Structure 1
Amino acid sequence: GVSRMSSRELSDIVQTQIVEDIRRDYEPEWTRRGLWDKPYSEVRRPDVTSMLLELLSHQNLADMKYNIDPRFRFSVSRSVYKGILKYLAFTGNRQYAVQPLPVKGFAITPAGGKKIRLSWQPVTEAGEPTSSPDRFMIYSRQGDNGFDNGLVVRDTIFEMELPAYDTIYSFKVTAVNNGGESFDSEELSVGINSRSKGNVLVVNGFDRVSGPSWTDNGISGISWWDDRGVPYRNDIITIGDQYDFDRMNPWLDDDSPGWGASYSDLTGKVVPGNTFNFPYIHGRSIMAAGYSFSSVSDEHFESTVDCADGSGIIDIIFGEEKSTPFFRDTSRIDFRIYTPQFMDMITKVTGEGRSVFMSGAYVGSDLLSGKDPTALKFAESTLHFIPRTGHAVRTGKVYATDYARPHFEGSFSFNAGFSPSVYTVEAPDAIEPSGKGAVCSFRYSENNSSAGIAFRGGYNNVITGFPFESIPDEKDRDKLMKQILEFLNKK
């Protein structure tokens, strides 16, 4: 075996790494607790270096705000990994390299004919200079097939020719160094129609992952009715919605567990979240309507002046994106929709006569929560809608209005409850038309509030208060996308 002091050294290094990272990224006053040398059998009996880590308490509401958030769980897991890595390097007297973080600013842009250009930006972790990547892996797939084994490249730009027309190709990128390979980037897709009616640029603005919203003012717990949060890809962290919010209610037995008690209808079920592949879902319907498409991240869209060149229509995915306060530092807002860069870019492309389709559950309520007069004016005068309310309905049935005929017709449903295939839209928005040329194009069947608007002028807009990709029926998605693109393409 090895000296028990090796376990003490491992514990110290891992704890130091965790505390330093949390203090830097989340909570500057995070408490560092003492190390215990106790005869727990799990770490006493093995003749190898070992440790037990207890970080958070599931009985502590403040702790759970961190624990249920996928961003915090990723950060702490990475801290544990880095601590173990540094311990092994220290005891082995050798150099180490930290696994890179995922790339950002991913984009697929047309380069003429069947040629495309992939580009991205590397990320180096603060305080970890060895995490810089020195190469990248590009993974690709055709249609619904699985991804290939990847291609190693050294540069952050890669050009290639697609094998065929009338086929969707999807790509993702990872960063690599001697420490390993990063998590995947978002998945972007491209398809070139041999008889294309036009080009659509799909902008993936849905990159939010977060925990649910909380309440601790009279009632205490997860306010799931307001925001269930967005899991990273998918999660199994809940068994059901909380129903006991009274801190004074004690645990009596398992049938009466008191404060924090929840239903059990989600036990054993995987909850879908942000799978980062929604450009592919949109792209399938775009191709079915006879158009070509390429896709870019919102970071690329907002920072690249000529990003939309060659595309007459912009399809912006906002899913469950919305302004999210950063844990205890409520002055920091992540995942804001209406950034100055976004508004400037939309003003530019609409000024050039390009049309916009924008869908998301919080496209209206994000304006109300932010109370930014510039953003409100932008929505009213450029996107031609005004926000009315969040939590518009609890069911997902939508129908086209008479105002929108003959461009839109029929009815469909989006996912407002649990589904194993797509995230829940728990709080869709009601938005109303603004200005001459704008009409209410869709209404929610539940209460007839306005679910979307259509605008026709020097450019055309379609904005919906529910995410397009949350429509589970592919035939409904294809029919709706075709109607939207035909409306947007007519001047």
Structure 2
Amino acid sequence: AWVEYLGAPFLTSFGEVNIRGKYADWQGGDLFLSLHTNAGGGQGTSSFIHSYAPSRGSKAFQTILHNQLVQDIRKTFNPHWRDRGKKKANFGELRNTRTMPAVLVEVAFHDHPQDALLLRNQRFRHLVGRSLYKGISKYLSGKKVVSPLPPVAFQARNSGPRQVTLSWKAQKDPLEPKSKAKGFIVYASSNGFGFDNGRIVYSNSYTFRDLVPGAVYYFRVSAFNQGGESLGSEVLSVRVTPPGKKAKILVVQGFDRMDRFSTYKKREYNTRNYVIYHGEALASSGFFYDSISNEALMDHPEILRQYRLLDWILGEESTKDETFSAKEQEILAGFLKKGGKFLVSGSEIGWDLDQKGSTEDKKFYRTYLKAKFVEDKSGTSKIRGKEGTLWKGLSLSLDDGTHGTYNVDYPDVILPMGGARAFLTYENLKVAGIGYQGRFRLVYLAFPFETVYPKQQRNLLMKRILFFLMGG
């Protein structure tokens, strides 16, 4: 019915599968690629062209696409990944595509446990998408250069009155050594979601000048070369300082996890823009801040001397990607020993460091995060401030994927240690957040701060955290 509404000169009685090829022909496409997952027993990747009358160019397109995909999976995920072959079949999609090369790809088996795990893995899906893009690009243009990977080690910092300097590094692609960045595109935004058209830069830094003091700006960077433009970096943010002011808070984007088993209905995927929610809350309390990726901070730990407080975003970062690496633990320990102030939030920190961690991990967790891990699932997404404390009256909920961020699957339950005190509890009275005031100051939330809603309560929570850490 929809294609008829669009004006297609054919009836939809062909059925949903058969009409796909006819619709592609009617639209005048250059290529037809149908992406499937397989079933019925087995593992691995196969591809198909029509069995007895493949459209012109289909065989060449299949060869390039199939070989690229299998090669990349073997190099990245499984050197023994099964190549089920370049095949032919009388599939309706292929039979009815006549004006362009047509290929159907069965990426993996959704009814095989190991294949199914990969199909739900964000990194695997990203690899498949990039591999298919490379195959298409090489077939259409013969290009041996593909677009680069996104920049890394990104930072956005106030560098003077009314100016902000961004810096980053190009990311090497081990699968495509020729996909080096020729330049970069720097994008800016006033809300972190809608960005401007960008500006082209041929170095690894860029400075914005004549910005509005007190305003919050958001930034991301992509790379480009002859093959095209990369995906964007994570989103970072700055509240611009006026003359005579310096940002004393550094927001660290440490949530890199991309292998979350994803259900798009519940937004269980990492959009890497959660600095938006932290920045909004900091600005609502009147504070100026810079932001940085954890990789950039590890490259330049000396910049910590410029800040009084770290707000470290860990989201659902867990054991595979490490909440805090050994180097990060060393740098943080040095910062805290000098009286630093630390806000850290994430739902898997205790699970990673205390439950699954090494002896050194457990020591860091108990000494500097002042906590003991209890269990990996709170049993509720409702959180309350403890009566008789600074936090009384807070009534918080954690996102289930329908409130703008992502579903918090397993918020940790913790207990305070070493002089720390509980100030937030889940609805069932299990501990959700602790604070410590001693040689250093600490607020540790066993859930991701950015997933708290409503916004007014999230901002109020930040206001009390900042009073606890910076004042009082």
Shorter-chain TM range is 0.7 to 0.9
Task: Label 1:449 to 1:210 Cα distance change in 2 as closer, same or farther (>3 A).
Answer: same
Within a 5 Å distance, the mapping from 1:358-377 to structure 2 comes to 358-377=344-363
For residue 254 of structure 2, what is the aligned residue in structure 1? 205
Which letter maps to 1:106? Answer: F
Query: What CA distance in whole angstroms lies between the structure 1 residues aligned with 2:199 and 2:384?
Result: 44
1:18 maps onto 2:69 in alignment: yes
* Counterpart contact for 2:260–2:269, Cα < 8 Å: no
* Counterpart contact for 1:271–1:420, Cα < 8 Å: no
* Counterpart contact for 2:452–2:458, Cα < 8 Å: yes
* Counterpart contact for 1:399–1:445, Cα < 8 Å: no
For residue 59 of structure 1, what is the aligned residue in structure 2? 111
Task: Label 1:41 to 1:471 Cα distance change in 2 as closer, same or farther (>3 A).
Answer: closer
For residue 398 of structure 2, what is the aligned residue in structure 1? 415
Within a 5 Å distance, the mapping from 1:308-319 to structure 2 comes to 308-319=304-315
Q: 1:79 aligns with which of 125, 131, 137?
A: 131
Q: CA deviation at 1:369?
A: 4.0
For residue 383 of structure 1, what is the aligned residue in structure 2? 369
Q: CA deviation at 1:401?
A: 4.8
1:449 maps onto 2:430 in alignment: yes
Question: What's the TM-score once normalised by structure 2's chain length?
Answer: 0.83
The 3-state SS of whatever aligns with 1:479 is helix
For residue 36 of structure 1, what is the aligned residue in structure 2? 87
Q: Deviations over 1:202-241 (max 9, x none)?
A: 00111212243xxxxxxxxxxxxxxxxxx4xxx53xxxxx
Q: 1:146 aligns with which of 185, 194, 201?
A: 194
* Counterpart contact for 1:65–1:211, Cα < 8 Å: no
1:470 maps onto 2:451 in alignment: yes
Which letter maps to 1:85? Answer: S
For residue 396 of structure 1, what is the aligned residue in structure 2? 382
* Counterpart contact for 2:426–2:432, Cα < 8 Å: yes
Query: What CA distance in whole angstroms lies between the structure 1 residues aligned with 2:153 and 2:228?
Result: 21
Q: CA deviation at 1:471?
A: 0.8
Task: Label 1:67 to 1:471 Cα distance change in 2 as closer, same or farther (>3 A).
Answer: same
For residue 461 of structure 2, what is the aligned residue in structure 1? 480
For residue 291 of structure 1, what is the aligned residue in structure 2? 287
Q: CA deviation at 1:178?
A: 1.1
For residue 335 of structure 2, what is the aligned residue in structure 1? 349
Q: CA deviation at 1:287?
A: 1.1
Within a 5 Å distance, the mapping from 1:117-156 to structure 2 comes to 117-143=165-191, 146-156=194-204
Q: CA deviation at 1:127?
A: 3.2
For residue 208 of structure 2, what is the aligned residue in structure 1? 160
Q: Deviations over 1:330-386 (max 9, x none)?
A: xxxxx1112111101111211222100001111211123423110111111122222
Which letter maps to 1:35? Answer: K
The 3-state SS of whatever aligns with 1:359 is strand
Task: Label 1:186 to 1:144 Cα distance change in 2 as closer, same or farther (>3 A).
Answer: closer
Which letter maps to 1:7? Answer: S
Query: What CA distance in whole angstroms lies between the structure 1 residues aligned with 2:192 and 2:88?
Result: 52
Task: Label 1:462 to 1:129 Cα distance change in 2 as closer, same or farther (>3 A).
Answer: same
The 3-state SS of whatever aligns with 2:168 is strand
Q: CA deviation at 1:119?
A: 0.8
Q: CA deviation at 1:68?
A: 1.4
Deviates more, 1:175-184 or 1:344-353: 344-353
Q: 2:421 aligns with which of 415, 439, 444?
A: 439
* Counterpart contact for 1:166–1:192, Cα < 8 Å: yes
Query: What CA distance in whole angstroms lies between the structure 1 residues aligned with 2:56 and 2:87?
Result: 12
Query: What CA distance in whole angstroms lies between the structure 1 residues aligned with 2:268 and 2:378?
Result: 22
Q: CA deviation at 1:3?
A: 8.4
The 3-state SS of whatever aligns with 1:207 is coil
Number of matched pairs: 419
Q: Deviations over 1:128-177 (max 9, x none)?
A: 12211111000001246731100000001112225111110000000011
1:98 maps onto 2:133 in alignment: no
Query: What CA distance in whole angstroms lies between the structure 1 residues aligned with 2:89 and 2:282?
Result: 61
The 3-state SS of whatever aligns with 2:457 is helix
* Counterpart contact for 2:304–2:335, Cα < 8 Å: yes
* Counterpart contact for 1:197–1:290, Cα < 8 Å: no
Query: What CA distance in whole angstroms lies between the structure 1 residues aligned with 2:210 and 2:350?
Result: 38
For residue 441 of structure 2, what is the aligned residue in structure 1? 460
Q: CA deviation at 1:106?
A: 0.8
The 3-state SS of whatever aligns with 1:87 is helix
* Counterpart contact for 1:138–1:174, Cα < 8 Å: yes
Deviates more, 1:359-368 or 1:196-205: 196-205
Task: Label 1:354 to 1:412 Cα distance change in 2 as closer, same or farther (>3 A).
Answer: same
* Counterpart contact for 1:103–1:122, Cα < 8 Å: yes
Query: What CA distance in whole angstroms lies between the structure 2 residues aligned with 1:201 and 1:417?
Result: 28
Which letter maps to 1:96? Answer: K
Q: CA deviation at 1:193?
A: 5.3
Task: Label 1:211 to 1:379 Cα distance change in 2 as closer, same or farther (>3 A).
Answer: closer
Q: CA deviation at 1:11?
A: 1.2
Which letter maps to 2:380? Answer: R
Q: CA deviation at 1:41?
A: 4.3
Q: CA deviation at 1:440?
A: 1.5
**Mind listing any 5+ residue stretches in structure 2 that lack a counterpart?**
1-29, 31-52
Which letter maps to 2:69? Answer: I
Q: CA deviation at 1:12?
A: 1.7
Q: CA deviation at 1:179?
A: 0.7
Task: Label 1:457 to 1:26 Cα distance change in 2 as closer, same or farther (>3 A).
Answer: same
Query: What CA distance in whole angstroms lies between the structure 1 residues aligned with 2:353 and 2:110?
Result: 34
Q: CA deviation at 1:271?
A: 2.8
Q: Deviations over 1:63-110 (max 9, x none)?
A: 2111111211110111112122223344xxxx4320111111111122
Greater helix share, 1 or 2? 2
What is the percentage of aligned positions where both structures have the same residue? 29
For residue 247 of structure 1, what is the aligned residue in structure 2? none
Task: Label 1:144 to 1:378 Cα distance change in 2 as closer, same or farther (>3 A).
Answer: closer
Task: Label 1:109 to 1:198 Cα distance change in 2 as closer, same or farther (>3 A).
Answer: closer
Task: Label 1:87 to 1:198 Cα distance change in 2 as closer, same or farther (>3 A).
Answer: closer
For residue 226 of structure 1, what is the aligned residue in structure 2? none
For residue 183 of structure 1, what is the aligned residue in structure 2? 231
Query: What CA distance in whole angstroms lies between the structure 2 residues aligned with 1:169 and 1:115?
Result: 11
The 3-state SS of whatever aligns with 1:316 is strand
* Counterpart contact for 1:119–1:157, Cα < 8 Å: yes
